[in-house]
Amino acid sequence: MLMKYHAPIPPGQRLLHTAGAIAGFLWSHTRELCKAIKHRRDMAVLANQDDRLLADIGLTRSDVHQAIRQPLWHDPTEVLRRRASAAQSGYLKCAVAHWQSADERNRRALAKLDDSQLSNLSDLGRRVRYDTRQRASA
């Protein structure tokens, strides 16, 4: 059986390692705090924008105010990013549902055509008409 031997770490080296870990922790959190403060200054410009411009990017004035009310050490742009993406996903779901309903309406209109009206249809249109009629009869 192989035994592992861990050499003792001298106290000076242990202290140096601990000090380095604390310095790294403080540096990363200080960097995050500076970034959050910079983003808060940038959001002041956003808060003064027109409601229509905010709506164009998927936000409301209350979204901006709620993001500003976050604690100082939190980055307010994360709140805005989540709100805007939630608004966009809702918009996309609505757009897809509208597109699907329009597609179904087009299929039904093609199925209602009689044989005398097929001269202007492409092969794809005729195939869609045939498939839709087959689905309707099943």
Segment 90-131, tens digit of pLDDT? 555 565 566 667 777 777 787 787 777 777 777 877 888 788
pLDDT at 87: 63
Q: Is the dihedral of CA 37, 38, 39, 42 positive or negative?
A: positive
Segment 13-67, tens digit of pLDDT? 888 888 888 999 999 999 988 888 888 888 888 888 888 888 877 778 888 888 8
pLDDT at 22: 92
pLDDT at 116: 77
Phi-psi sector, 58: left (phi>0), alpha (psi -120 to 50), beta: left
Going by C-beta distance under 8 Å and a sequence separation of 6 or more, which residues neighbour residue 51?
60, 61
pLDDT at 108: 79
Segment 66-87, tens digit of pLDDT? 888 888 878 888 888 887 777 6
pLDDT at 30: 92
